[in-house]
Structure 1
Amino acid sequence: MLLGDLIINYDNKRIPLSAKQRENIEKNYPYYGAQGIIDYVDDYLFEGKYLLIAEDGENLRSRKQPIATIVEGKFWVNNHAHIVTSNELSNLEFLCFWLNSNDISEYITGSAQPKLNQNNMNLIALPDFSREEQDRIAEKLCVYEKKIKNNLVNIALLVNVVNEIYKETFIQKSKLADGQYAESTVFENIIELKEKNKEEKDYPVLSVVKEGEFKASEDVFTKQVYSKSTKNYKIVRCNQVAYNPARANIGSIAMLKEYDVGLVSPIYTVFEMKDTITPTFFYYYMKQPIFQEMIKHHAIGTTRQNFPFEAFKMFPMVVPPMELQLKFEEIAKPIEQKIAKLKEENEVLAEIRDTLLPKLMNRELPVEVGEN
């Protein structure tokens, strides 16, 4: 079977919007690119259930992320993702699972900028599964996929709850608490750290991605980009913050939560909180939209922007009493633990799904056909 015989293509209805066009519009509907949502816009091109398949980008070769995603609802798509639906011969979920689990490198062109054009996409050869077999395989795998998605929804809700509590406690009420809150700056409440890995301990090498999270370097880059010797790398510990000065303006700044200790490139800036603020208080301070806006505003340079540590002198911070910070921490910690458990559960579910997937696709596991 060829993929082109199993899908209905809607690429001709895609319309790309530049960053400038998206700048000052209402953010009502998801705007999708090759690797998921990249922005929100004020209108939509599609409504319903579709499969998006990456048309270009490094991920087509590295496969660090899925290359196919099912999206539902009202949304806009640019010209970096093919948009298709299934026909009477195919199951949309099956196609999505198959594309994300199989090597399609022979259909990809370009080295500097990998591309899966429409003609080559249509020529992708799939095993000759009947529609009923596809339905059964998709049904088995969707059990895990749906649970993962439900957990992600719950995680988002819990994150929103903590952020709302933070805003209500420290932003909305701070204006009314005369004399209780101290006017300050971020710079006055943090201290830069320059601890090096002189003993070359075997700590994981980490990078901060634009989503504001730490990731193991091997999960971010297709090849090892760090030196064999890590003695000049900076040590970052749990509840400390690190950022790449050249990428902070796009969101690459984060507090370490996932590891007890790790290493970051020597070009990174690392800092921790003074005893005037708790890491929990600052973690949610960083999550406020104004924080990222101020980083963009105070980054310097034209061709390549750089965010210096001293720029934190320009970040106003109203410091609440320590008693109130600790009270907020008591509320936030159980919610954070629930979020961590949901994330752990998703990792287990994804591992089971990914173990079953190739076995089902290769017919190593039986698929009941013709049963209710």
Structure 2
Amino acid sequence: MVHKYSELDLMQARIKEVPKGWSFLPIAKAFKIRNDLRKPISDEIRSTQQGLYPYYGPTKIQDYIDTYEQDGSFALIGEDGDHFLKYKSQAMTQLVDGKCTVNNHAHIIEGTELASREWFYYYFMHRDIYSYLSRQGAGRYKLNKASLEKIYLLIPPSEEQNKIAQILSTWDQAISATEKLLKNSQEQKKALMQQLLTGKKRLLDENGVRFSGEWKSTKVKAIFKPEVLSAGNQDFPIFSVTKNGLVNQSEYFNKSVASEDTSKYRVVKTGRFVMSGLNFWMGSVDVHLMDFPVIVSPAYKVFVITNLSSPEFMKQFIRSSLFQKVLEAASVVGASVVRRNFSESIFNSYELFIPEIAEQEKIAAVLSAADQEIEGLQKKLDCLKQEKKALMQQLLTGKRRVKV
């Protein structure tokens, strides 16, 4: 099949050249768009039709219902939403197999002898199609059927398509397996925290004897003592506290968001407890265990951890549901529900049950080991995704050819 294309078509498709032996065609010439199979079903109706069959939206399964509209193998790409701007990190396409229903916010793509639905799935998974979209308001975009039909794509011979899809599918399986391992490790750590931080499960001491001493009720004010140290002219790295703990501003936010004058910023030394002045009640707290001081915004609260508790133990404890209740109780709703004020008196009045230092350190060591396992799996997952993305960039453009 021969189809004429222009330099504008190449430019819009973000393509510099067509590889030897490949085609460059609009979607309308390469696939069947089966939007006749779509069926929108309201939330209210779906609530009365709960079942086993997936109900797909533009980017994911939205529900499971007791009826289905189609039974086959297709690829989906969203028709509207804000996901179009997140194409680098969020998959734009889905594969659907078997009995299911697709709503009217996703286009249904059927493969042909020329191009498989797997090729469409991988080709447009992380592709920039911004120039084909129409705007529907702030951050909302639409890919209508007429525009979809005009999008050009590279198409290798069928055997090469299948080989590339097979290679990328292998990477998908590795990513999926790692995601499951990561989720399992995270769930296991949650369960372990619930047992160890409440004393339901006791560990063995250094002599192999199980800890048995009673946990003591201790006022929060006896564990945390406020500390206010200004940075002055000292040049320390600038950190923020997020739900993920302390993060370097320049690395985490990809830019420095600090004021030019940091002389009034607060110094956080090793072993200090620090909380966000804005989102502390949502879990934006941490214990600084790095071996160098950092500085945070003057709006943050910094506390010395007294000798009643191990900093390593408290780093784990503040992540628990037990401490989350303390943070929520100490947050007083102000003029805006989104922004809450910190009540020092409520915070100080709470009592925590904690064990002796020796048992604290054992608990911290076990939970820290779980963190290291989770961190290792997260790094592996990030690497797999990054390597797959680089491989896709080469295989889907023909820069790297496969042997059939």
| Sequence identity percentage | 18
Cα offset, 1:127, TM superposition: 1.4
What CA distance in whole angstroms lies between the structure 2 residues aligned with 1:260 and 1:313?
28
Q: Which amino acid aligns with 1:66?
A: Q
Q: What is aligned with 1:122?
A: 148
Cα offset, 1:111, TM superposition: 9.7
Cα offset, 1:161, TM superposition: 2.5
Return the match for 1:344 from 355, 379, 384. Answer: 379
Q: Which runs of 5+ in 1 are unaligned?
A: 23-29
What CA distance in whole angstroms lies between the structure 2 residues aligned with 1:258 and 1:8?
56
Whether the 8 Å contact between 1:108 and 1:115 is mirrored in structure 2 is no
Q: Which amino acid aligns with 1:147?
A: A
Whether the 8 Å contact between 2:273 and 2:288 is mirrored in structure 1 is yes
Q: What is aligned with 1:87?
A: 110
TM-score, L = length of structure 2: 0.65
Taking a change above 3 Å as real, the CA distance of residues 67 and 162 of structure 1, as seen in their structure-2 partners, is closer
Q: What is aligned with 1:27?
A: none
Q: Over residues 212-261 of structure 1, what are the superposed CA-to-partner deviations in whole Å (9 max), with x where a residue is unaligned?
A: 45555467768764434544444556765544333334444455679966
What CA distance in whole angstroms lies between the structure 2 residues aligned with 1:64 and 1:321?
49
Q: What is aligned with 2:192?
A: 165
Return the match for 1:275 from 278, 302, 307. Answer: 307
What CA distance in whole angstroms lies between the structure 1 residues aligned with 2:268 and 2:178?
30
Return the match for 1:101 from 120, 126, 141. Answer: 126
Q: Secondary structure at the match of 1:277?
A: coil
Q: Say how many residue pairs are matched.
A: 350
RMSD of aligned residue pairs (Cα, Å): 4.9
Q: Secondary structure at the match of 1:362?
A: coil
What CA distance in whole angstroms lies between the structure 1 residues aligned with 2:216 and 2:171?
49
Taking a change above 3 Å as real, the CA distance of residues 164 and 34 of structure 1, as seen in their structure-2 partners, is same
What CA distance in whole angstroms lies between the structure 1 residues aligned with 2:302 and 2:57?
32
Q: Over residues 5-62 of structure 1, what are the superposed CA-to-partner deviations in whole Å (9 max), with x where a residue is unaligned?
A: 5665687536569xxxx9xxxxxxx99998889xxx9x635999986759444x7446
Taking a change above 3 Å as real, the CA distance of residues 248 and 142 of structure 1, as seen in their structure-2 partners, is farther
Q: What is aligned with 1:68?
A: 92
What CA distance in whole angstroms lies between the structure 2 residues aligned with 1:64 and 1:204?
28
Q: Which amino acid aligns with 2:153?
A: P
Cα offset, 1:364, TM superposition: 0.5
What CA distance in whole angstroms lies between the structure 2 residues aligned with 1:294 and 1:265?
23
Q: What is aligned with 2:216?
A: 182
Q: Which amino acid aligns with 2:378?
A: K
What CA distance in whole angstroms lies between the structure 2 residues aligned with 1:288 and 1:151?
25
Q: What is aligned with 1:329?
A: 364
Taking a change above 3 Å as real, the CA distance of residues 105 and 363 of structure 1, as seen in their structure-2 partners, is same
Cα offset, 1:180, TM superposition: 1.7
Return the match for 2:277 from 234, 240, 245. Answer: 245
Whether the 8 Å contact between 1:248 and 1:307 is mirrored in structure 2 is no
What CA distance in whole angstroms lies between the structure 2 residues aligned with 1:282 and 1:275?
11
Return the match for 2:64 from 44, 48, 51. Answer: 44
What CA distance in whole angstroms lies between the structure 2 residues aligned with 1:275 and 1:267?
26
Which runs of structure 2 are paired with 1:1-372 in the superposition (5 Å)? 5=31, 13=40, 15=42, 44-45=64-65, 53=78, 55-57=80-82, 60-61=84-85, 65-68=89-92, 70=94, 82-83=105-106, 86-89=109-112, 94-95=119-120, 97-108=122-133, 113-119=138-144, 122=148, 125-130=151-156, 132-171=159-198, 173=200, 180-199=214-233, 201=235, 203=237, 205-206=239-240, 208-209=242-243, 212-214=244-246, 217=249, 225-236=257-268, 240-255=272-287, 263-271=295-303, 273-292=305-324, 294-297=326-329, 298-303=331-336, 304-308=338-342, 310=344, 311-313=346-348, 315-368=350-403, 371=404
Q: Which amino acid aligns with 1:182?
A: K
Taking a change above 3 Å as real, the CA distance of residues 192 and 149 of structure 1, as seen in their structure-2 partners, is farther
Q: Which amino acid aligns with 2:144?
A: N
Cα offset, 1:357, TM superposition: 2.1
Taking a change above 3 Å as real, the CA distance of residues 174 and 161 of structure 1, as seen in their structure-2 partners, is closer
Whether the 8 Å contact between 1:200 and 1:229 is mirrored in structure 2 is no
Q: Which amino acid aligns with 2:280?
A: A
Deviates more, 1:85-94 or 1:180-189: 85-94
Taking a change above 3 Å as real, the CA distance of residues 201 and 363 of structure 1, as seen in their structure-2 partners, is farther
TM-score, L = length of structure 1: 0.69
Cα offset, 1:134, TM superposition: 4.3
Q: Secondary structure at the match of 1:128?
A: strand
What CA distance in whole angstroms lies between the structure 2 residues aligned with 1:357 and 1:36?
22
Whether the 8 Å contact between 1:3 and 1:125 is mirrored in structure 2 is yes
